[in-house]
A and B are shown apart, each in its own frame.
Chain A
Amino acid sequence: MTPPGGEIGSAHSPAHAAHGAAGHAHEESYRPVLVGTVRDELDQILKRYPTRMAALLPALWLLQDARGWVSEHSMAEVAQVLDLTPAYVKGVVTFYTMYHQHPVGRYFVQVCTTSPCMACGAEETVAALLRHTGCGELGTTSPDGKFTVIEVECLGACGFATPVMINEEFVESVTPDKVPTILAQLR
């Protein structure tokens, strides 16, 4: 499980939101992402579509893969490259739940709690994850910056309740007793 690199673990705490003082420090040090080989990749993607706007979701993925989240400056960068306005890009970013608008833990843990998983004990799995990661509550990052746990709507693996997604990896049939072992493999 590859942790996202770049901005994570930089000067400010991973638990910070992308505004206020932390956001300001970020502004001065912002390095563009869509340059060099990443820009080449984006140029290849652009060939698949008849409009530049259509490359927005893929471009945002490139940004998030590089930095671990999508900051206001990243939004401005992609807006400029794709001939869009920063406001338009922000409108799209905020619509989709998978783009992080603030830094998250090195391991981003998503637990399905929609009804089918809930009926199979997802709430206990969530409680175990919050306890063993040290996150304490949903949406916050653990003090060591390693984990953020969130509840997520249906992950599309209901027959393997409870599915948990850790960064890009899917772990099926997670029960509270399996949680310590799963987390130990990450530490």
Chain B
Amino acid sequence: MSQRTALHAQHLEAGAKMVDFAGWDMPIHYGSQIEEHHQVRRDAGMFDVSHMVILDLEGSQAKDFLRKLLANDVARLRDPGKALYSCMLNPEGGVIDDLIVYYLSDTQYRIVVNAGTREKDIAWMQKQVQTFDASLTERSDLSMIAVQGPHAREKMAALLPDADAEAALGLGVFFGRQIGDLFIARTGYTGEDGFEVMVANEQAADLWNRLRDAGVQPTGLGARDTLRLEAGMNLYGSDMDESISPLEAGLNWTIAWEPADRDFIGRSALEQQRQRDDLRRFVGLVLEERGVLRGHQKVILPDGSEGEITSGSFSPTLGRAIAMARVPGSIEDRVEVEIRGKHLSARRVKMPFVRNGKSLID
């Protein structure tokens, strides 16, 4: 029996097609995945992401713990509310999960991890935190609604009392804080501006309904995936996992090598990998012919070497297929992708593919 979020009845009422996702009964779409995708790019959409895991970390050594646990460095966070994206690595340098951590104070952080990795993440963190004066609390009392799109922030703010609206609209990019009853963060997984809002479970349906009445389109996990892919954002389990180094998943930018004496878990493995010259590259591809790129399709380079697509789909914004792929070091601009036995030509492009509603592809 799948778990249900506090918004389950809202999904059914909106005509959602429900699917199992990481043990949760979640909406894949409410009629048309492509329309929902466009709605987020052009106006505003909302996602129930209550299946994700919110953890509060508190204690005098909370910061020291995170500096050990994460490949990115929370010491970079100086302004309260500032968020950081990071990988949590195993000692071999593989990715246990990717996460967002919000800096509330030197002794308080809020962490959001993926639903599909809940048990192993919590077990790993609990194991690592033992030697620190800090403790983790799962906030299953909170739901999370992501409100995304060029008009998302104003539509959300219009539902708040004046002072709260001002505070919400005053949030800088990648900042989050408690505003009234809500924790509001200017973060997301779509490549659009917007908020991720954490709300008490018992208030979630009311907030959802008010957003809906304000014209915010309920958007399913299907569109969430095409939006994040266009935005060049990795998906855990597809683009990286415990056997993949962040150096081979396009996540070099999330590793804080300095200061050199910060001994985070996985560091020595990454230091060794970094010396190698045979690391695979993580690249964006656009299919030059008709068809759809999908995870696990073979990518063939001009020299005959092979790589693999890690996630791919049809891009509703670009009207063509796009993908992320892991390929041997010397990638050319032109490659071929094997689809049902045929070789179709594809072009390497810089990611993201789309940002703030606009194509970044020629």
Do chains A and B stick together as partners?
no
- A contacts, CB < 8 Å to B: none
